[in-house]
Structure 1
Amino acid sequence: MPPTTSRTPWRKLLYVKQEYPDNHVDDTFLEELQKNANVRHYEYWSVVLESTIISQHISSIVIFVAIFIYLYFGSLSSHDLITLGTVGTAIGYGFWDWSNTMLMPDSNYQRRKIFKGALLFFLTLLGLTPILKTLTEKTSEDTIWALTVILFLANLAFHDYGSGNRRNIKYPGSLSTNAAIFASVVLASRLKTNLHVFGLMSFAVEWFALFPMLRRQVRSISNRGNLALTIVLFLTATTLFSQISPAIVVIYILGMAFLTFVCPFWLIWIQRYKNILLFNLAPQQPRSSEQRNTPMVLIVPSSYPVQGIYYMLRHPSLFRNIFCPILLTIVWGIGILIFGLAFLLKLQAHALIAAKCPAAVAWIVCIIFVLLEVGVLSILFYLIILPIYQDGLFDRVLKLRGLKHVLHQNDGNDMAKCMRGVHGGLWILLLQIIVLVLTFPVNLVPVLGQIVYFSVNGWILTFGLRFYYDVEIRNLSVNQSRKQAWGRKHDYMAFGAVAVGFEMIPIANILFMWTNIVGSALWVADEIERDMIESQQENSQSLMGQIPHSPVEDAPPEYTPGNNFNLSGLSGQQQYYAPQQQRQQYQNQPQDPFNHQGSSNNPYARQGSPMIPPKNKKHPDLE
């Protein structure tokens, strides 16, 4: 019976030649795998208690709005509000001072300083009351209510919900506080007297600047006190709004119940799908020194209209490309407008009057027709003349980016591409006009309407700006370009929404329509450079895989911060290769590759391209 030979245990070392195939997966490979090792498992009632800080802040906003409504309709006098705020502030400060465990020996001085600051602040507020009352007095009430809602939503979104009484932050949640105070200023302009304005503004400062500090103090001291404060605020908000709108009370109660009880359950329920794997061996694609030194191209489509403006300012030579078309546009627009009003208007009006049409109707109809004719002539000029300059500006930007070779790589019949470009350009222009007209009523919807309007028209605008690149450089058909634009609709909308916003600015849109072209060219240039980098990386990896392998002894090569290594051939003998340029640099230097004391570290052996460490010599890091 032949003797059985036992194999040495497999080790998780890439630089060691082992008697196992390259695709071997050992049973011990996943022994150190950890699943959800650092995941915090929540308890339901602890999450409910943590959610009270959000409930408290929502309740405080509801209470403030209710107090404003009572003050606005005269159900609450300004004297009562000032008295209530002053007494509440005094009680809150007394509790805060008593519970503060960080009292200094000079606490009396601190109290005097606080009282002096409070007195100075309220005297200043009293002096500014007439200005605050008339600050937004001429603004319509619809705008006031909408702006108030937006500001309170900002206050709710940016409020400091951090736990504990963090004394290292002097002014926590300053953006949230400023939004709430600004909302109070906006609401104060709707009140009747200066005393009402002073009462509301002083209460706003106490409620949105000082009261959150007291809530954090209570929360850091006692969970029961925090829960009691939450219940008090909830009952106060419900009681105040029950006299204003029972429907809002029902919505408020349901919202608080959902936030306090349903959302914590939801969080715990979805926690079962959390799957975090921790493993000490992190597989990563090796990168050469050239790849590590190559900057990654970050593409954010919405930033390119702004980049186009900045790029044009940095390259004044581009203004020579747009000076002539801008001058032609202005001259052509003024010329056809004068021609239409001075010649066509009289000719058409007299013709209608001669046809027994009333004079007033004839002149009104002719003015409308003349404006339409001027618009049609402008569109024809835009369609025939301006694309020549637009394409030239696009090419100029690509040349400045060092991509001149891209312009000469396009194959195909130039006449066919030209006809295809004219046909596609006309189709895009007509589509732009139709969509602009159809989506214009959407602007009547506040905020959301403008977003939809800019996004839809922005997609078409971006399609038109990149159409030249698709058709005449990439040699795509109109249908292929359209499919690509629809497949990347989110990127196109992001770019186009900003570009349309710039082109909506009066007078300056003559310049922005050209900077948008520069921005689209920069976008294309970044995409081309990104594709070139990825292609070079793939070619480099494929070439490195063709280097012949040599066996490596049971010791890793030296690595110093100044030397860059390429991992290659891991599917073969698992060895390291150095970049060819650095190998040639050290090839003729008779130095020990494991010499740490020499004047120049040679990480490479003299025997050839692969680094072969000398036999019977251990690496110092492994001893």
Structure 2
Amino acid sequence: MSGVVEAAQAKAREVAKEDLDKAKVLFNDATRSGSFLYPIKGIFYFLSHRSLWKPLASRILPTMGLSVGVVISMFTFTYVPQLAMLVFVNGPLAVFTTVLLILSESSTIISLLSRNFLLQDALLDTFDGTLVSRDASNIVSEGRQLKSGADPMARLGKVLKSPFAKFSPKAIIRYVMYLPLNFIPVVGTVIFIIVQGRTRGQTVHDRYFQLKKWSASQREQWLKEHTGAYSGFGTVATLLELVPFANILFSFTNTVGAALWAADLEKKENAMTSGTAPGLRETAKKAE
């Protein structure tokens, strides 16, 4: 019997070491790319470019109303029941971990409703407008008509390609699947946020990939090769959008950050695009 237990413990240590090694690789990838800084850059860029405020200004009242309603309702009806469950595993810390959990749940609900019914067009305009302001109008013209002028938002014309994909049912399923992580004191909540960040990171450049005319396989390959970078961006973006009532603002600044990142990829043609782009690799394979 002891031999079986020792074997199981050894296997557990092996799996833990593999997961730790993978986590280190992802962390190093995110650090090298600097992707985790783009949500912060997005805040400063957004605040310093008044023309980018127009889409937010047109949606702020209904979305703030939605945010207030969701957060108040979640704390009113779910705080005590969830606290009662978490207190058994988190002890006194359950008071704080329950708050984080409810904020995460509220953020998901607000994102689901607002992105599908209130913000989709506004976020699209913000992303495209940021690219135009960064002199990346050539790629934006692949997805919408552009007018002449100095104001990047005023230059945006008719959309020629469909905007961001709607909230994925898979994201909801994955969210529910990982909710039990919050029963692990502190560490579980942190892991839960990181997991959500990784999921979020997979969608931040949907519009960019669309403008690049990449196929589904090209997108998948690119995201697989840069999982750490997108996880880093997504984690910081997720943390920002957990802030009650300010999540509407951070939804826009995160979109600006994603567009700044895309503009840098286009302009600098750095190591992330030069020689590693899926399109180049597929072309090389066909040539062989």
TM-score band by shorter chain is 0.5 to 0.7
Of 330, 342, 348, the residue aligned with 2:64 is 330
2:171 alignment partner in structure 1: 432
> Partners in 1 of 2:34 and 2:42 — Cα distance?
13
- Out of 232, 239, 242, the residue aligned to residue 501 of structure 1 is 239
CA distance in 1, matches of 2:189, 2:110: 29
Residues 390 and 514 in structure 1, CA contact (< 8 A), matched pair in contact too: yes
Q: Which has the larger radius of gyration?
A: 1
Aligned equivalents of 1:431, 1:395: Cα separation in 2:
26
TM-score by length of structure 1 reads: 0.28
Shift of 1:443: 2.6
Letter in 1 for 2:192: Y
CA deviation string 1:524-575 (max 9, x = no partner): 1111111189999xxxxxxxxxxxxxxxxxxxxxxxxxxxxxxxxxxxxxxx
2:138 alignment partner, one of 393, 397, 405: 405
Instruction: Check whether the contact 2:196–2:238 (CA below 8 A) recurs between aligned residues.
Output: yes
Match of 2:37 in 1: 303
Tell me the residue number matched to 2:202. Answer: 463
Task: Give the CA deviation at 1:522.
Answer: 0.9
Counterparts of 1:496 and 1:395, CA distance in 2: 19
Relative to the length of structure 2, the TM-score reads 0.57
Structure 1 runs of 4+ aligned residues shifted over 4 Å read 331-337, 375-378, 414-417, 532-536
Aligned residue runs from structure 1 range 48-127, under 5 A: none
Given candidates 106, 112, 115, the residue that maps to 1:382 is 115
Aligned to 1:515: 253
Query: 2:188 and 2:109 mapped to 1: Cα distance?
Result: 28
- Shift of the alpha carbon at 1:445? 2.4
Gaps of 5+ in 2: 1-31, 72-107, 145-157, 275-288
Distance in 2 between the 1:334 and 1:497 partners?
23
Shift of 1:391: 0.9
Separation in structure 2 between the aligned mates of residue 451 and residue 322 of structure 1, nearest angstrom: 30
2: CA distance, partners of 1:300 / 1:533? 13
CA contact (8 A) 1:417 1:475 kept: no
Report the count of equivalent residues: 194
- Aligned equivalents of 1:445, 1:303: Cα separation in 2: 29
Question: Shift of residue 523 of structure 1?
Answer: 0.9
User: Is 1:529 the counterpart of 2:276 in the alignment?
Assistant: no
Equivalence for 1:18: none
Aligned to 1:443: 182
Question: Higher helix proportion, which one?
Answer: 2
One-letter identity of the residue aligned with 2:237: A
Q: Which residue matches 1:488?
A: 226
Alpha-carbon contact 2:198-2:230 (below 8 Å) kept: yes
Q: Which amino acid aligns with 1:509?
A: N
Q: Distance in 1 between matches of 2:40 and 2:259?
A: 13
Question: What one-letter code is carried by the residue in structure 1 that aligns with 2:244?
Answer: P
Aligned residue among 127, 143, 147 for 1:394: 127
The runs of 5 or more residues in structure 1 that have no matched partner are: 1-297, 338-374, 537-623
Q: Does 1:477 align with 2:205?
A: no
Measured in 2, the distance between the counterparts of 1:415 and 1:316 equals 22
Contact persistence 2:201–2:232 (CA under 8 A) = no
**1:312 Cα shift?**
1.3
Q: Which has the higher contact order (CA 8 A, sep 6+)?
A: 2
Q: SS of 2:168's equivalent?
A: helix
Q: Is the Cα contact below 8 Å between 1:299 and 1:523 reproduced in 2?
A: no
CA contact (8 A) 2:197 2:238 kept: yes
- Percentage of identical aligned residues: 28
